[in-house]
Amino acid sequence: MDPLADRCGATALALAPRLVVDGLDRRTFVKTLGLLTSALLARAASAQETYRIGLVVPDAGRREVGRVIALGAQLGLDEANVMAGLFGKRLDLVQEVAHGSEAVRSAASRLIRQERVVALLGGADGTSAEALRDAVKQGEAFFFNVGAVDNRLRGARCHRYAFHVEASLAMYVGTVGQWLLEQRKLPGWAVVASDSSVGREIGQAAAAFLARRGRAPLATESVPIGITDWGPLLQRVRGLNPDAVVVGLEAPDLPGFLREYRATGLPFQLTGVAADLSTLLASNPADLAGVWPVVWHHELGRFSARELNSRFRRRFGRPLDGRSWAAWAAVKFVGEAIVRTGTGDLARLLRFLESAPPFDGHKGRPLTFREWDHQLRQPMYLVAPRKPEQGRDAWKAFEVVAEVPARGDPDLIGEPKAESRCRFEA
């Protein structure tokens, strides 16, 4: 039997545990349904329309990041094709490996001009995301960002054909802020951020979040990249006596800060943004501290998240992380848009995506793209370290402690429309 038909039969078996139709027992009914589905799929395959999606992932030092994105995209492709096949359509994934702006731009151009892709997936970092954004500015394909958090991609560098499945830095900071103010009632923040573009964006987002609520940080400490002596800074933080310390450090500096923070014994709630959680997973479990926002966690168990996590682990032998989830979701969104519009016409697909159709990302709420900056509205999660003896491996180091927002509009954790600097080109 055709694999898709086999899956349809399995679905029918799960949905009709005691079904009897016109005297047919359950097993005969499912077998008959499978045969009919197989015949329909065979007929549809003869006139199947194929749509291609381009995937651009990094090489060199970021090869592992590219691999987890590719795995998520592959699972998304397989699952999207189950639905697409029923409507006489098929998605293909064409992958390019590239590092650096020029190489990414060249790879994207090949995918658009030669492979005629409907959409590009990628954006393992801000540099590659901006190159992919530039590649679609003529409206010949969409770009779905699955890894870059930079606010500027949703602001001054936004584009009509760019959509963001990965959360923005503003959303990561807003997740922390909502939790601190609404759930923990901790309004006094000391912000510690790297003197870098990412650190400055985190500091600015924290100040903006508080300003919208009539507050301001107690202090913002800007620290040089590569700092090794955290003692003087931590003493200044102690003198501020804050309710919480909000951290936005470059990945290489974060483990050292956490180690000295724990050793100093500061009693303040520690939290912040670690856009690449792998940095913390590689740290000594005894040094881990704080509460950190993530877009997905492999131990989520509600709203079909458990089944998605299980499918990914069975298929690839590793947990589903945030970047893999974003790539899976992006392929799913493209496939659903094509099926629901019945076309690969970019103008019609754009109108559909901007109409805020609900997508199921297994987060328990409909996910939609905001019309003013194309950021995906979605709940986020906060994770905290388990006790070292509870973590059997690095992936067991963190557990989910909260969903944010716990209820209500996910826009509560993002930059509001009134403050957005996004102005789509005509």
Give the mean model confidence (pLDDT) for residues 275-287.
Answer: 76
pLDDT in tens, 319-348: 999 999 999 999 999 999 999 999 999 999
pLDDT of residue 387: 78
pLDDT of residue 62: 73
pLDDT in tens, 96-136: 999 899 999 999 999 999 999 999 999 999 999 999 999 99
The token pair at 155 is 């602001």
* Domain residue limits, the chain: 3-45, 49-165+300-378, 170-294+380-413
pLDDT in tens, 396-408: 889 999 999 988 8
pLDDT of residue 408: 82
pLDDT of residue 12: 40
Residue 268: band (very low, low, confident or very high) from pLDDT cuts 50, 70, 90? very high
CATH of span 170-294+380-413: 3.40.50.2300
Give the mean model confidence (pLDDT) for residues 233-261.
Answer: 95
Which strands sit side by side in the sheet containing 269-272, from one edge to the other?
A: 219-223, 189-194, 244-248, 269-272
pLDDT in tens, 137-177: 999 999 999 999 999 999 999 999 999 999 999 999 999 99
Cβ neighbours for 303, distance < 8 A, ≥ 6 positions apart: 362, 363, 364
49-165+300-378 and 170-294+380-413, same CATH topology: yes
Q: Is the pLDDT of residue 426 over 70?
A: no
More confident residue, 10 or 30: 30
Class of domain 49-165+300-378: alpha beta
Whole-prediction pTM value? 0.88
Q: Which of 346, 340, 313, 342 is nearest to 328 (CA)?
A: 313
Instruction: Name residue 270's beta-bridge partners.
Output: 245
Distance of CA 30 to the CA centre of its chain: 37
pLDDT of residue 15: 38
Q: Is the pLDDT of residue 30 over 60?
A: no
